[in-house]
Structure 1
């Protein structure tokens, strides 16, 4: 891979930095984008903590809402892993805070990549673009799509759905020779690299610190970030990945009470503050009109979001770690980093 230059957008993010570390381990030349070049030192520190040489990474400033920087970012690039997209810990008051950078940023990257002669873009979408449509009780696959206009679909799920739809429409109408593959991860866990936490790891930290008094009967899918990075590279390289989307999950969905039980059972004293209380469904529904987080949970109460990674395994040979291993790797890294209060 040393003759190819790979661009990873959003290099300081949890998935982005893991993709960079994996690419460097495979001998690739890597360029990445950051919104603010003042974060270059932070990025290099993360790469170093991940066991790679940060001097091998070329850093370019580029914002998803601005054309500036993107021609430089894609110059001489053969493949793009478009990972950058906002992922908040809480629902924003204005959903355009997520939708605009997700959708416009994706189109900006695709335009630049096409014009620069890039071979393939791998877009990081989300299971959120899959799992919030009609729910007939089957296991979700890549054929399923979230309905962004469905009641209760939050801003993040809408942003990922609209961004992915826009990407496929662009490829169909004006992509030229540019290829697109899409990865749709569930909740991304795995070892933290430094104290700047993703939303999934921030939730685990809140649980371990006892800051969550009770948990709703909603479910989510889990996957290890190292396996997500591996799937991105497989989707980038495999000839049969072009024009396809791939769900990245490990095993069946976990409910939030099941997640808490895994932490308590495996971590012992370190998980002593993890709640055993379940939030009654009626409390979630009563609070939904007044709280954006509860509003997005209410329609999903009691509904399992089991999904299949059969396609990624069959087409790309991808085999993820068990979901429990991903969750516990996150929790143990938070403890080792000294982020969990003693």
Structure 2
């Protein structure tokens, strides 16, 4: 499969950039979509993702809500990885700010893939939020679980559920001569190294902790996965025979968040950082959740055990330990300029 052309939508995003990097490292030709090629601060780093790649990355402009650009973007591709979708925790005033780009954008990409004639497999980046069980939190969540969109208070979660449902319905209704293999990747909370200083919800939340903007840490337990494992899962979906037709939850482990932050504090605070280790009383978190949809969302996704069966046994991935994930993330944010370098900063241990 080396040398095959792969389209990656949302190439400048947190997940998309890692997908592009890993594809290049494994010898694929990569075409990435971005919203604005002229925004050099957002896209310039993509040309240096991989040292001495077999094929330089090709970047093209495409907008999720404009179908015309996707026909040209998909042209000649054997595989498509649709990683572009807005991610925010705080609910927007207008739900369509998230829902329309997620659903319509996914369908625009899939329509272009179906009409292209060369695409054999498509991987859509979804979310474990599409596997919630309304009203019950017992047992491990699996790919057989489907969220009920109208019951989801998080607009982001609803957008991911509706987009994934639209993708499966679209492929099911395609005529046989236009069908392709579809896989959906459903990651839990994504952490891990950043490849640029670009802002993003996942990165900003952790950067705020490193910068001391979050003085106390909520006592919650979350499922997390490394962004590098998420990217690798995308690639395994085009190289693994059993992947098409499957939803695949991507999860490393369920961990107590304060213990993770303490691990990073032990590593970084001697180097001049002030990462907090004080925890927030649970009653305070409950009160705050009454006034903040983002905090309410965090409480709702806490303590949910998520299956790793397909991730490990179908895709064959052994997850990176989350403590390593977070330490690598901390160093990366300094190295890419997202967090200031202190006078005591020593750099990553492997340098």
Structure 1 distance, partners of 2:242, 2:55, is 33
Task: Report the counterpart of residue 234 of structure 1 in structure 2.
Answer: 236
Structure 1 residue 89 displacement after superposition: 5.7
Seen in structure 2, the aligned counterparts of structure 1 residues 242 and 218 have a Cα distance that, compared at 3 Å, is same
Structure 2 distance, partners of 1:131, 1:330, is 28
Structure 1 residue 54 displacement after superposition: 10
Task: Report the counterpart of residue 309 of structure 1 in structure 2.
Answer: 308
Task: Report the counterpart of residue 59 of structure 1 in structure 2.
Answer: 59
Task: Report the counterpart of residue 286 of structure 2 in structure 1.
Answer: 285
Structure 1 residue 296 displacement after superposition: 2.2
Task: Report the counterpart of residue 36 of structure 1 in structure 2.
Answer: 36
Structure 2 distance, partners of 1:123, 1:275, is 36
- Structure 1 residues 81-120: aligned runs within 5 Å: 81-88=81-88, 90-117=90-117, 118-120=119-121
The correspondence for 2:197, drawn from 176, 195, 205, is 195
Structure 2 distance, partners of 1:175, 1:246, is 25
CA contact (8 A) 2:89 2:294 kept: no
Task: Report the counterpart of residue 348 of structure 2 in structure 1.
Answer: none
Unmatched segments (≥5 aa) in structure 1: none
CA contact (8 A) 1:131 1:144 kept: yes
- Structure 1 residues 1-12: aligned runs within 5 Å: 1-12=1-12
Task: Report the counterpart of residue 251 of structure 2 in structure 1.
Answer: 249
- Structure 1 residues 40-189: aligned runs within 5 Å: 42-51=42-51, 53=53, 56-88=56-88, 90-117=90-117, 118-131=119-132, 133-150=134-151, 153-174=153-174, 176=176, 177-189=179-191
Task: Report the counterpart of residue 346 of structure 2 in structure 1.
Answer: none
Residue 207 in structure 1 maps to residue 206 in structure 2: no
RMSD over aligned CA atoms reads 2.3
- Structure 1 residues 5-24: aligned runs within 5 Å: 5-24=5-24
Structure 1 residue 286 displacement after superposition: 3.1
Seen in structure 2, the aligned counterparts of structure 1 residues 272 and 76 have a Cα distance that, compared at 3 Å, is closer
Instruction: Please state whether the residue corresponding to 2:123 is helix, strand or coil.
Output: strand
Show CA shifts across 1:248-290 (max 9, x none).
1112x23432332222234342485222333333333333343
Structure 2 distance, partners of 1:32, 1:254, is 34
Show CA shifts across 1:198-239 (max 9, x none).
322211111111111223333322222211111100011212
Structure 1 distance, partners of 2:213, 2:41, is 32
Structure 1 distance, partners of 2:175, 2:259, is 43
Structure 2 distance, partners of 1:59, 1:306, is 38
Structure 2 distance, partners of 1:339, 1:41, is 13
Instruction: Please state whether the residue corresponding to 2:330 is helix, strand or coil.
Output: helix
Structure 1 residue 186 displacement after superposition: 1.6
Structure 1 distance, partners of 2:8, 2:226, is 19
Show CA shifts across 1:87-112 (max 9, x none).
12643222211111001101111111
Structure 2 distance, partners of 1:270, 1:186, is 30
Task: Report the counterpart of residue 336 of structure 1 in structure 2.
Answer: 335
Show CA shifts across 1:38-78 (max 9, x none).
23674242340553659712222111111121110111111
Structure 1 residue 325 displacement after superposition: 1.1
Structure 1 residue 305 displacement after superposition: 1.6
Task: Report the counterpart of residue 324 of structure 1 in structure 2.
Answer: 323
Structure 1 distance, partners of 2:251, 2:48, is 27
CA contact (8 A) 1:241 1:315 kept: yes
Structure 1 distance, partners of 2:298, 2:2, is 45
Show CA shifts across 1:133-152 (max 9, x none).
3434212221222332226x
